[in-house]
Amino acid sequence: DVKVTQSSRYLVKRTGEKVFLECVQDMDHENMFWYRQDPGLGLRLIYFSYDVKMKEKGDIPEGYSVSREKKERFSLILESASTNQTSMYLCASHTGGSGANVLTFGAGSRLTVL
């Protein structure tokens, strides 16, 4: 089974701190994604990456950046955390290529910014 591992399940940070959320997948997937999940708003795409060192903005990139130095690792960075970034963050990966493929999600990282 494909595994997508998010290193931190729960984090508590202070306003203005720099926050790193790490995601690692073990199936050599090309594509990786960061979503944010909020009640009543569903899953909203922050950033995604189709290859190492490549990134594209999703629907809500403001206040976030990403890094993909290795194929298996995709990091979400909050340069200066704010209280409105308190949320559940979900990482997902996708194999890419032809055919109908699905997203495999990590268990999520719940971030609280005080």
Partner 1 sequence: QQPVQSPQAVILREGEDAVINCSSSKALYSVHWYRQKHGEAPVFLMILLKGGEQKGHEKISASFNEKKQQSSLYLTASQLSYSGTYFCGTEVGSGNTGKLIFGQGTTLQVKP
Between 28 and 59, whose beta carbon lies closer to partner 1? 59
Give the closest residue to 22 by CA, choosing from 78, 93, 73: 73
Strand partners, 32: 49, 93
Site string for partner 1, 75-94 (x = CB under 8 A): ---------------x---x
Shortest approach of partner 1 to residue 16 CB, angstroms? 29
Residue 48 within binding range of partner 1, rule CB under 8 A: yes
Q: Which of 66, 103, 111, 113 touches partner 1 by CB under 8 A?
A: 103
Cβ-Cβ contacts under 8 Å for 74 (sequence gap 6 or more): 23, 25, 32, 33, 34, 49, 66, 67, 68, 91, 93
Question: Please, how many CA atoms are within 13 Å of residue 38, restricted to the half-sphere of its CB?
Answer: 11
Residue ranges binding partner 1 (CB under 8 A): 4, 31, 33, 35, 40-45, 48, 50, 58-59, 90, 94-108
